Amino acid sequence: MAKIRKRLGDILVEHGLITAEDLNETLQNKTANQKIGDALLQRGLITEQQLIETLEMQLGIPHVSLFRYPFDKNLFNMVPKEMAKRNQLVPLKIEGDKLFIAMTNPMDFITIDDLRLTTGFQIQPAIASKEDVTKTIAKYYDEESYDELIGNMPETQQEQQEDMGDLDAPIVRLVSQILSNAVSLKASDVHIDPQENRVLVRYRIDGALRTERVLPKAMQGMITARIKILSNLDITENRIPQDGRIKTTVDFRPIDLRVSSLPTVYGEKIVMRILDLSANLTDISKLGFSDLNMERFMAEIDKPNGIILISGPTGSGKSSTLYAALNKLNNEEVNIITVEDPVEYQLEGINQIQVNTNVGLTFAVGLRSILRQDPDIVMVGEIRDKETADISIRASLTGHLVLSTIHTNDSIASITRLMDMGIEPFLVTASLNAVVAQRLIRKVCRDCREVHAATDREKHIFAKRGLAIETIARGRGCSQCNMTGYRGRMAIHEVLVVNEEIKDIINRNGSAAEIREVAVKNKTIFLIDDGLLKVKEGMTTTEEVLRVAMMD
């Protein structure tokens, strides 16, 4: 009698990885051609490792971890790079007449047949995670291309200039390679760092910088020139900082890059901020707000007028929160206009203005013009000076909801900062609805997560905030998280609602300590508390929270 194979969703429910409700909801919401495994991954209900282990059980095909796998480099000549990239597979080993292949989709029989015909071997598939396969392709196929590219670099100045426009030129392919690797490793920034005798290519992944490549110093000029050509910068000017933008497609995904060049003693340092346009930035429920913070934030953005400020340092996810709020408010009944520097993500149905100081279009000028455009909601990229703050306040007092960001350490410091700019206290209290302080922290890797007893120091830290802790989750370190124990980032928040008591303190020029007392009384969750609550839930570690939030 034929054995009936269990469905993937049922196996996941049986093993307690998802609930039956999660499965039914995902089945209803997934697109017609989307596999259930991919849909569950997209919603963050399971990890890729959990999916692979379940597929192994369902299909009877073994899974393989490619991290530190002893690859035979000669096999990479047998399977072309294009085929490996297109079909997400890598060759593992040969045994007799069998070629073992790691695939993300071992049920792709057409590709298996193609491989059998092109190699002459019987194909034995194994399951590997998409990330593992992508990293292996980047490491082994691209490493060889790097050496090959460096060897083929033109030597004379004239040859170098001729190469800049040729899409098959080594330097053009090298820059594409650097960007492609950055996207596949989910880097947020690429740094081209000139040193005295070499050039470092560094990626920022989950907030931490790491050196990916060391290139010869002779290649610095060509790499800089190629990136400047792509971002429409002046390649003859290397004495002043320049900013540009690149719109491109990497591995079939639309990518936007913000490029900044800065003259240093060893040449121009280039930093490229990667904005993945396919990333899901617009869902407010995925920002990591706790229930109370979410309730308070939603109540504030539903108000018809007033100012909501989001504070935090560069790279703390302020823009993502603003865009998610705008997306929630966006419908055909409201006119939303933004003035930004630069416009990071283009949102449908929203009018976005790019600041251009060269022609005199500053935040203040843009904002003044916006108010003649009959807006309901205004978003100002950043309040940097008194003039912008004044017009934002005027806009909020004349019936507009204004969203903006400000660079301060916490929510209470934002109120002090506005008054330092020279804004009268009565104007601050009349216009300011709420301040949201935000930081990004790394999440414990779900694949190598282990539960440990909390240390005495951790218990003491929690006790100081009126919390108790017995166990802490930590990542052991695995191939999925590059042995760091962390994978992905989440936000911690502090939502300060400016109520009547706080307004009284501001109006009589009271101290930050008095505002804090009222905030505590109103059950405000401070950054450190939100972080520690997420540690309690096993999502991050105490070290991560203390890295970004200060104890009182």
Q: Which residue has the tokens 């939603």?
A: 298
- Rounded to 10 degrees, what is the CA torsion of 519, 524, 530, 532? 70
- Cross-strand partners of 310: 405, 436
Residue 155 has what pLDDT?
Answer: 58
What is the residue type of 256?
Answer: D
How is residue 229 written in tokens? 């050509």
Q: What is the pTM of this model?
A: 0.78
Q: Categorize the per-residue pLDDT at 3 as very low, low, confident or very high, splitting at 50, 70 and 90.
A: very low
Residue 338 has what pLDDT?
Answer: 93
Residue 287 has what pLDDT?
Answer: 85
How is residue 29 written in tokens? 């919401």
Residue 180 has what pLDDT?
Answer: 84
Q: Which residue has the tokens 């849909």?
A: 39
* pLDDT at position 153 over 70: no
Rg (CA), the chain: 27
Average pLDDT, rounded, for the chain? 87
Per-residue model confidence as pLDDT tens digits over 95-140: 999 999 999 888 888 999 999 998 899 999 999 888 888 888 877 7
Alpha-carbon distance of 311 to 416, in angstroms, equals: 12
64 with 92: CB under 8 angstroms? yes
Contacts of 10 (CB under 8 A, 6+ apart): none
Per-residue model confidence as pLDDT tens digits over 352-385: 999 888 898 988 898 889 989 999 999 998 898 8
CB pairs under 8 A, 24+ apart, for 243-248?
243/342, 245/342, 246/272, 248/179
Per-residue model confidence as pLDDT tens digits over 314-357: 888 888 899 899 989 998 899 999 998 878 777 888 999 998 88
Residue 143 has what pLDDT?
Answer: 62
What is the residue type of 448?
Answer: C
The CA–CA distances, whole Å, from 133 to 130, 142, 383, 413, 470 equal 5, 13, 44, 46, 38
% of the chain exceeding 90 in pLDDT: 46
Per-residue model confidence as pLDDT tens digits over 53-106: 888 888 888 888 887 788 888 888 888 888 888 888 999 999 999 999 999 888
Alpha-carbon distance of 103 to 90, in angstroms, equals: 7
Alpha-carbon distance of 247 to 425, in angstroms, equals: 44
56 with 63: CB under 8 angstroms? yes
Q: Categorize the per-residue pLDDT at 524 as very low, low, confident or very high, splitting at 50, 70 and 90.
A: very high
- Identify the sign of the CA torsion 224, 230, 235, 241: negative
Residue 255 has what pLDDT?
Answer: 85
Per-residue model confidence as pLDDT tens digits over 381-407: 889 889 999 999 999 998 999 999 999
Residue 150 has what pLDDT?
Answer: 65
In 3-state terms, what secondary structure has residue 191?
strand
Per-residue model confidence as pLDDT tens digits over 175-222: 888 888 888 788 999 999 999 999 999 999 888 899 988 999 988 998
What is the rounded average pLDDT of the residues 448-459?
92
Residue 186 has what pLDDT?
Answer: 83
